[in-house]
Amino acid sequence: MSFEGTTISGKLPRRIRRLEELAYNFWWSWHREARDLFKMLDYTLWRTTSHNPVQMLLEIEPERLAEVASDPLFLRLYDAVVIALDADLTNGHLWFPRKYPDLTDRPVAYFSAEFGLHRSLPLYSGGLGVLAGDHCKEASDLGLPFVAVGFLYEMGYFRQRITPDGWQEASYPHFEPQEVAIRLAPCGEDRMLFVPVQLNDQTVHLKVWQVQVGHAHLYLMDADNERNAPWERELTSRLYGGDQEMRIRQEIVLGIGGIRVIRELGIDPLAYHLNEGHSAFLVLERARELVEAGHSFAEAREQIGATTLFTTHTPVPAGHDVFHYHLIEKYFQDYWPRLGLNREEFLELGHHENDRHGFNMTALALRMCGRRNAVSDLHGRVSRRMWQSLWPEREEHEVPIDHVTNGIHVPSWIGGATHRLYRKHLSPDWIERHDDRTLWERILDVPDESLWEAHAHLKEKLMTFMRERSRRRRMEGSMTPEQVLCSGAFLDPDALTVGFARRFATYKRATLLFHDMERLKGLLHDRYRPVQFIFAGKAHPADDAGKRLLQHVYHTAKDPAAGGRIAFIDDYDMQVARYLVQGVDVWLNTPIRPHEASGTSGQKAALNGIPNLSVLDGWWAEGYNGANGWAIAPGEEYTQQAGQDGADARALYDLLELEVVPLFYERDADDVPRGWVRVMKEAIRTAVPTFCMRRMVKEYTEKFYVPSARRTEEME
């Protein structure tokens, strides 16, 4: 992957030279005025570059830049945006520096296999990555000193194409770093930073890139460079690609290489945070550093435990990486003596009773990290039960796994019409105060007509987006006429629209809705109160069961009996997600309880006034209060999954037929569904302050980061 630098700075007139700085800081992606600035610069380019300001500035004509450099309206907005950026980057007025002024010199170091900041930087597959990206953004908003480490995948996660028969195909377009807001990490004058990592008998050299996220820094490791052999360059080519051996090599690089990157950059964190088990080898690298500095392994383990947090994200056993012992021996037989351990002692660190022939990365992280959390209250209870064998002397409720329920980065997911409504009726500075529960009591006083009008506007935007996307793909020849119909051409903007956008894994039960097709057809084809459904999502390329579920949805969508009231949007990404969570009427979620650790898409929907219709799992088990949406709770529990599916499906149909549909279509003389709007308001009031990323990062800070930082200071 080559990088010749950009020609942006040479094109920019002096008066607007800081446009380059703005474009290279993802701060613009969650500040509406900054996005408006780039729209004003060239709206057509903004659209054709998929909202990528770096690519815009590379392609824009110099004459247009000269024109806006003397436009008073443009300059007024430009100056306001630059002032706001400077204020946030100075950050002394923000929450963390004001509350913990003595802890601002050294950061929290955060490690994750994926990061979802914006669709222009395709380093994410789904919820885990989007959560990591939101975490970086909120750290910046709060003034929390924060560095993150991950990979620059040259082909990212796959692009999805659906064949005319409904089968998912994957393609991996090459990533062009020169067109995105990333730069090579600084390393002295005119030098690239390369970090070596030993993988058995090979040394892989990692080039390091830097992404600016407000005042937070994200460092990305890249094996695709001239110092590595062609087969070594593939190491960072794809997210979650390859076999078990490729996976362990990636995780060695993420954990061991990630620690070496921050050391080379001169970063000395006060606390470490592992986002899932992919980076767990970093605890071994930290132990090696301490042992080789003269500590015993027991002393190193104590110090690491006191300063390291591990977050587990899934109660599904297949979601935890387990490497066969022969791979561990291959890559670590020369490593464990440097820890002062023998083979059996080393392997015991990753032992779990359900994985007798493999090394469990979650078990390693749970043993070595002294602070541990799940991502919802229910997930915490499930995790304590799952991992009790690691603490056999303790009762289940005493297992030391806490929980911090996931949240969403509010400025990134709010719709434009909803944002304007909140500014007008709640407070002009509502975004700065959005974790204040008292602020959201004012939503009850917002005129019903105003909230409904804002929602109708966002719903129309969703419908337009779907139509235009299908029209463009048909013109390009990538869609058959039948596929155009499956993608939503017949959807009615006035009909009750239910959204389902998830990863297509079997436990998420995307096809639960199709359990009784006659009842479903009754909902679809009601002459006066029709219901329509929009599906989106990807199956993992190796998950044929998930692909078959997706194919089932697609076949149902193209069946003439569905009448065009079921649609599937292909190639689900952050842009599609924004339109869906802002524009549908109801958010549907049907996981097998308790397999949904948290889920955040429903929180994004609730932020925009969209009620949830969900199984009481993950965050919804905490969020549902009886008035802010609907709970799919059949009242019966079955030992056989088929029986549970049937009971849950019947409960779903009952809710739709008896509560959801009648309430949506019950209108007054002004065509406003007053009862429905009450549910929308309650969803907003209860979800936003409680399930926002601001609350989440503050909770992480006060529960884990600050105690870890204090402990670090004591031990030094």
- With cut-offs at 50, 70 and 90, classify the pLDDT of residue 188: low
pLDDT tens readout for residues 522-567: 999 999 999 999 999 999 998 999 999 999 999 999 999 999 999 9
Average pLDDT over residues 240-259: 94
Task: Please give the full DSSP string across 600-641, using - where no structure is assigned.
Answer: -HHHHHHHTT--EEEES-TTHHHH--SSSEEEE--S---SSH
Average pLDDT over residues 342-351: 96
Domain range list for the chain? 8-90, 95-406+697-715, 410-691
What is residue 401's predicted lDDT score, i.e. its pLDDT? 98
Q: Is 511 exposed, middle or buried (0-12, 13-18, 19+ CB in 10 A)?
A: buried
Question: Which among 281, 279, 283, 297 is positioned nearest to 338, based on CA atoms?
Answer: 297
- With cut-offs at 50, 70 and 90, classify the pLDDT of residue 390: very high
Judge whether 500 and 577 are in contact, CB under 8 Å: no
pLDDT tens readout for residues 666-681: 999 999 999 999 999 9
Q: What is the mean pLDDT of the chain?
A: 95
Same topology, domains 95-406+697-715 and 410-691? Answer is yes
Contacts of 429 (CB under 8 A, 6+ apart): none
- With cut-offs at 50, 70 and 90, classify the pLDDT of residue 3: very low
Domain 95-406+697-715: CATH architecture, name and number where available = 3-Layer(aba) Sandwich (3.40)
Q: Where are the alpha helices (DSSP H) in 477-506?
A: 481-484
What is residue 189's predicted lDDT score, i.e. its pLDDT? 61
Asked whether residue 246 carries a pLDDT value surpassing 90, the answer given is yes
Judge whether 479 and 558 are in contact, CB under 8 Å: no
Percent of the chain with pLDDT over 70: 99
Judge whether 134 and 412 are in contact, CB under 8 Å: yes
Look at residue 408 and give its three-state secondary structure: strand
- With cut-offs at 50, 70 and 90, classify the pLDDT of residue 180: very high
- With cut-offs at 50, 70 and 90, classify the pLDDT of residue 356: confident
What is residue 4's predicted lDDT score, i.e. its pLDDT? 43
pLDDT tens readout for residues 583-632: 999 999 999 999 999 999 999 999 999 999 999 999 999 999 999 999 99
What is residue 70's predicted lDDT score, i.e. its pLDDT? 97
Residue 403 sits at φ, ψ, to 5 deg, of -145, 145
Asked whether residue 150 carries a pLDDT value surpassing 50, the answer given is yes
Judge whether 332 and 281 are in contact, CB under 8 Å: no
Residues shown for the chain:
716
Asked whether residue 355 carries a pLDDT value surpassing 80, the answer given is no
Residue 447 sits at φ, ψ, to 5 deg, of -55, 135
- With cut-offs at 50, 70 and 90, classify the pLDDT of residue 353: confident
Average pLDDT over residues 96-111: 96
Asked whether residue 38 carries a pLDDT value surpassing 90, the answer given is yes
Judge whether 160 and 182 are in contact, CB under 8 Å: no
Question: Which among 532, 534, 549 is positioned nearest to 500, based on CA atoms?
Answer: 534
Among 171-175, 200-204, 487-491, the range scoring the smallest mean pLDDT is 171-175
Average pLDDT over residues 453-471: 96
What is residue 318's predicted lDDT score, i.e. its pLDDT? 81
What is residue 2's predicted lDDT score, i.e. its pLDDT? 41
What is residue 93's predicted lDDT score, i.e. its pLDDT? 85
The answer, as to whether pTM is greater than 0.85, is: yes
Asked whether residue 6 carries a pLDDT value surpassing 60, the answer given is no
CATH number of 410-691: 3.40.50.2000
- Distance (Å, whole) CA 96 – CA 141: 9
Contacts of 69 (CB under 8 A, 6+ apart): 13, 15, 16, 75
- With cut-offs at 50, 70 and 90, classify the pLDDT of residue 5: very low
pLDDT tens readout for residues 93-103: 899 999 999 99
What single DSSP character describes residue 585? S
What is residue 92's predicted lDDT score, i.e. its pLDDT? 77
Question: Which among 159, 338, 125 is positioned nearest to 240, based on CA atoms?
Answer: 125
Asked whether residue 323 carries a pLDDT value surpassing 60, the answer given is yes
Look at residue 272 and give its three-state secondary structure: strand
Asked whether residue 279 carries a pLDDT value surpassing 80, the answer given is yes
What single DSSP character describes residue 25? B
SS3 content of the chain, % helix, strand, coil (to 5): 50, 15, 35
